[in-house]
Structure 1
């Protein structure tokens, strides 16, 4: 009987464990919101860290974490709600200086990543005593083996590690990254220049502080955006929006700087180290800061579309949730009628600012994080705590300007009809509008934008190839291909249900069997030899009965006896 009892308890405990596991599957931890993070796509992964987060299981408001996270972009991803942590990889940050500032301080000490094909370098947005105390060094994350290292940088102490909310861009093919503006650099005309970081040789990366030798001195920009384009001999940077910080403005009584109109597009020619200012026309976006931008190139490289989303209106105290595109080389702004924006599906119409944009394969603008707020003036922040209505990631298909409920890595880019209607051509390219309608502000710009650099054809996965000529044997992924978050969860739940059903069946069988044994005990016939133990009068084993009854001794003849007692049931042999 004891053996069967132990089996019964074991099965029950196992059933409880499976039930607990099922609950964990259905209610796994998820990220609800992200604000002021640094982000970048390297290889086939979207990396993000620092900033502030909310989760669905801790009841906390926006707070820092001490992890670098990444999201694999190999498979489809459901982005209609919070992101399940089981979809993310992570690594501990090597220094508290990288965790980011505290919300709700505007900007949250937002920094960036410099990056190339294999490595991330955390730059700016540092907090604490190490913010600007580590000279000539940056924390680097190697994506081939997922390890951190403090890398020495040649070029001197120019880090501006505690700077934040400047503009930045990287070119993975050349290993060059750029940063200018922010709260420290180009502040009231001081430190006016551009940090140029080169990591094409990961053993000896270097940087320099570039000041213009000709033309204008640069954008003096705060809370704007900057993107890299494959134009000119070595590429160009476009910087726009945000505040101009070269001198005190007149737009606000209680704010130092004016907002910059979107007709002003600053162009940095990397080859000549020269800044230019080009005028743009068209549907100029409303003045804004804290928006994000990403680039998509036409299949034939005849045009480049710079898509922007969201932002903050300091004058009216509101956030935007709209989409505009700047087509290059036409320098023409186009208002986009996007559809299915998940933030606008309900009765509310909130805006989103302090967000990040990263582009996958030209055709999907991955919008991560942002402060989601409602109203004008006295705004209400909707995601300071976990709010599952507004997803932490949004994906905009830049071929159709439709917001998708899932990320699909297989989609290809084509120039949208909204753009070709203005610049000419068709979905495969062939743009006919190849210059600004007001003309080039500099003859140099006409020459620069008549040249296009070739595309980077190296592998998108650093674990497969570190260089264009690499012959490294591909590493097989251990992920389940093609399964969405819901599909994976569905399979796991179904498997758990099957296991629980089997266990319940075993428990029912066991209980019925035990009940049958108790109902129909086995009675051993008298004088039937069973095994060498003493037997009672009725051939049934007994313990001592009433202590007043004198126990019997074993008689000299016959079988072996135990003390007599009333008949009792025996266990199964």
Structure 2
């Protein structure tokens, strides 16, 4: 009786514990403050805050996301026209789960690094002694230490601006030090003016303060202008004489990498109102005659999230309003989302914080809060900027909206190559008159040239309920193994009492050994059903504010089936190729069951034993 009670209680405890963990696909409602990067057309989504459930109201609490998610940005040939999201990658509990950090991709070595961000609570905050990296080839998290001791003195900030160059150097500007980013931080948060750099080739760090003004919550991007490239920063807040204020969006900060100098250049035109937490990215003309920054949303100085899309074009330093026709617009505005350029022609937005408390609906949960933007002339031809991802659109064609400001055509050839009133510093005219060219990087480790494992799908009789079900099954299987051992031990004790003898060696030889019994966990694309024509209720509105009015659909479930990898470099993660279809069962998407090859480490990177996908 006691053993039966123990078993029942243990199973109930495992089930309750597992089901209390929200699934970022099946239970997704909204997300924000996450960090993303793209390597080989795989977009990785880490950390941030997630709302689970069917709506968000005043009582809803955003939870810290502890999963590493991914999607293949080329896999859009489905009825939603957006990539399916997956949760079948490893993330050990020791790896920081933070909000407001940055992922630095190293496409050459098939890695990305996690830097900065705030932990969920002060008890979780780690000392920054080594840099965490994710090994895409082997689906493992590893630690990288500086080879020259340069990590000493580098802090772990949050809500700064990060970017990277094509020669393998990553940058992080400004941000805050807080008690959620630094262990035992003694007081209020401290705004920074430091420019941190990390060289992925040598694993060395630098921390410089070229600028005297602390800044945070802005955007920074690399452009291939000047001899070694430039960093362009705008927006956010800044500290001047002890007073924190919103930065003027007409003041564009430009850093010349080769000369280690900051410049402030004034931009004109449709200058946005001051804002922090906006989402921005950059793309340039084929001939690099114009560098065009697309900027959406952000929290304005009235603490409402804006719902506007602007373009800042350099080197003429002109702002132009793209959407909507009039401003301000706060109805469905967002902040702290991610926006990644894909196919050299479009931008993929994910999530965003909504400040309008009257909006309680989830953010297109069937596609994980994704929204699409056409960047080039296709937007003019389609008559809309916000659009589903287009498979047949690749390469950037400068849109008429920019051509009308800078001259030239869709291929570039801009004639406005300086601000109308001239550059603030003479050197800027020289720097923008040159373009940087970088030699291709060489990998510092052996990179497999072909996939070495074949993905396998789940059993056809197994109904997929997302990562939660996988966790429950894993817990039950592990529990069953323990119960089996307990049962055998009790049986031996009973036999020992009956015979008065010790168990024989032969009997002990049949005792099962304790070991890892958890299953591989899947995380395929999951939807609650839909109209199968667009992710919206009534019209194909793909803008970040277009989720308003979205409700759960009924009666449809994703199709059952396997998938095959389309990228040659790494076995995990597998590429889902299924698309939603009517009245078919979904199966668990698992990592390959074949053996993981031995890890080929980078120097000074300490790798744990390879692990299969886990949550």
Compute the TM-score of the two structures, normalised by the length of structure 2: 0.61
Deviation of 1:358 after TM superposition, in Å, equals: 1.4
Q: Which of 419, 424, 427 is 2:402 aligned to?
A: 419
Q: Quick one: structure 1 residues 82 and 451, their matched pair in 2 at CA, closer, same or farther if it must change by over 3 Å?
A: closer
Deviation of 1:263 after TM superposition, in Å, equals: 1.0
Q: Which of 101, 106, 122 is 1:116 aligned to?
A: 106
Q: Which of 490, 494, 507 is 2:581 aligned to?
A: 490
1:382 aligns with 360
Verify the 8 A CA contact 1:210 1:273 in the aligned structure 2: no
1:393 aligns with 370
Q: Quick one: structure 1 residues 428 and 476, their matched pair in 2 at CA, closer, same or farther if it must change by over 3 Å?
A: farther
2:262 aligns with 275
1:70 aligns with 70
Deviation of 1:195 after TM superposition, in Å, equals: 0.5
Q: Quick one: structure 1 residues 425 and 471, their matched pair in 2 at CA, closer, same or farther if it must change by over 3 Å?
A: farther
Measured in 2, the distance between the counterparts of 1:95 and 1:471 equals 28
Greater CA drift, 36-45 or 125-134:
125-134
Q: Which of 35, 46, 49 is 2:43 aligned to?
A: 46
**More RCO (CA 8 Å, sep 6+):** 2
**Is 1:225 the equivalent of 2:219?**
yes
Verify the 8 A CA contact 1:81 1:389 in the aligned structure 2: no
Verify the 8 A CA contact 1:351 1:372 in the aligned structure 2: yes
Measured in 1, the distance between the counterparts of 2:213 and 2:390 equals 35
Structure 2, unmatched stretches of 5+, are 1-24, 179-187, 380-384, 456-562, 567-574, 588-615
More strand by share: 1
Measured in 1, the distance between the counterparts of 2:396 and 2:224 equals 17
1:182 aligns with 175
1:540 aligns with none
Q: Quick one: structure 1 residues 139 and 157, their matched pair in 2 at CA, closer, same or farther if it must change by over 3 Å?
A: same
Deviation of 1:180 after TM superposition, in Å, equals: 1.5
Structure 1, unmatched stretches of 5+, are 1-27, 101-108, 250-256, 459-464, 497-573
1:545 aligns with none
Q: CA RMSD in A?
A: 3.7
What secondary structure does 1:293 align onto? strand
Deviation of 1:381 after TM superposition, in Å, equals: 5.2
**Is 1:29 the equivalent of 2:26?**
yes
Measured in 2, the distance between the counterparts of 1:175 and 1:357 equals 21
1:336 aligns with 322
Deviations 1:229-280 (A, max 9, x none): 111111111111111124333xxxxxxx211111100111111111111111
1:71-470 pair list within 5 angstroms: 71-76=71-76, 87-95=85-93, 98-100=96-98, 109-117=99-107, 118-127=110-119, 128-129=122-123, 131-135=125-129, 137-153=130-146, 154-161=149-156, 163-171=157-165, 173-184=166-177, 192-201=193-202, 205-212=203-210, 217=211, 219-249=213-243, 257-315=244-302, 317-337=303-323, 349-374=331-356, 379-380=357-358, 382=360, 388=365, 392-399=369-376, 400-401=378-379, 402-406=385-389, 408=391, 410-454=393-437, 466=443
Q: Quick one: structure 1 residues 468 and 131, their matched pair in 2 at CA, closer, same or farther if it must change by over 3 Å?
A: closer
Verify the 8 A CA contact 2:161 2:220 in the aligned structure 1: yes
Measured in 1, the distance between the counterparts of 2:270 and 2:373 equals 20
User: How many equivalent pairs are there?
Assistant: 422
Measured in 2, the distance between the counterparts of 1:227 and 1:410 equals 24
Verify the 8 A CA contact 2:128 2:155 in the aligned structure 1: no
1:9 aligns with none
Deviation of 1:310 after TM superposition, in Å, equals: 0.7
What secondary structure does 1:403 align onto? coil
Q: Quick one: structure 1 residues 115 and 495, their matched pair in 2 at CA, closer, same or farther if it must change by over 3 Å?
A: closer
